[in-house]
Structure 1
Amino acid sequence: MILELADIRIQAGKQTEFDAAIQRGLEQVISKAKGFQGYKVNKGIESPERYILTIFWDTLENHTVDFRESAAFQEWRAIVGPYFAAPPVVEHFSLLAKSA
């Protein structure tokens, strides 16, 4: 399993609107993608315009090829993109260790 971590910064004062948009995009678009396994969204406390989105994929290519090169990616960006203050920083991780 691959973990995608997206560090998202949104425009100030748009948190309530973005909260609804990101949940809609995840449920209506990303959750239907090939290799999708689940997600978590965390909101910043000290930095209320910062969100950390983690998505679990079967393979790296499920995100970088199957999803990113699909029409679904454009649909996702149309939902959440208008709120971005800057492009998200996205990285991928593999599991090294886990607690019970």
Structure 2
Amino acid sequence: MILEAVMLQVKSGMEAEYEEVFRKASPIIASMNGYVLNELQRCIEVQGKYLLLVKWERLEDHTIGFRQSPEYLEWKQLLYRFYDPFPAVEHFQKVGVSL
């Protein structure tokens, strides 16, 4: 299981519109092979700051399956205009820890 984590800064004054468009865009990513779940969280301390978390079965489900798909172009067209600066995407893998 891979966790994609993206810190997003939405342009000032566009937060409500962004959240509405994100709700419409979510089924796009949810339809992709290897998608598990996603959630968008709004920062309490910083206006316009969001955290996007997406779980994928494999890294390639995101980097190849989604990013190289026609659906990605639609996702990009809907959401990328809101970001300033453009976000960095990072991927994480759970570390097994014994108690």
TM-score above 0.5 = yes
Q: 1:1-53, CA deviations, whole angstroms, 9 ceiling, x for partnerless residues?
A: 100001111100111000111121112x1000110000111101111211100
Runs of 4+, deviation exceeding 4 Å:
none
Give the AA of the match of 2:37: G
Q: In 2 relative to 1, CA 74–95 (structure 1 residues): closer, same or farther, beyond 3 Å?
A: same
Q: In 2 relative to 1, CA 12–92 (structure 1 residues): closer, same or farther, beyond 3 Å?
A: same
Matches within 5 A, 1:1-100: 1-27=1-27, 29-97=28-96
Give the AA of the match of 1:85: D
Identical counterparts, % of pairs: 28
Q: How many residues align?
A: 97
Give the AA of the match of 2:92: F
Where do 5+ consecutive residues of structure 1 fail to align?
none
* CA-based RMSD: 1.2
Q: Which secondary structure state, in structure 2, belongs to the residue aligned with residue 87 of structure 1?
A: coil
Give the AA of the match of 2:11: Q
* Displacement after TM superposition at 1:95 (Å): 0.8
Q: Distance in 2 between matches of 1:15 and 1:57?
A: 26
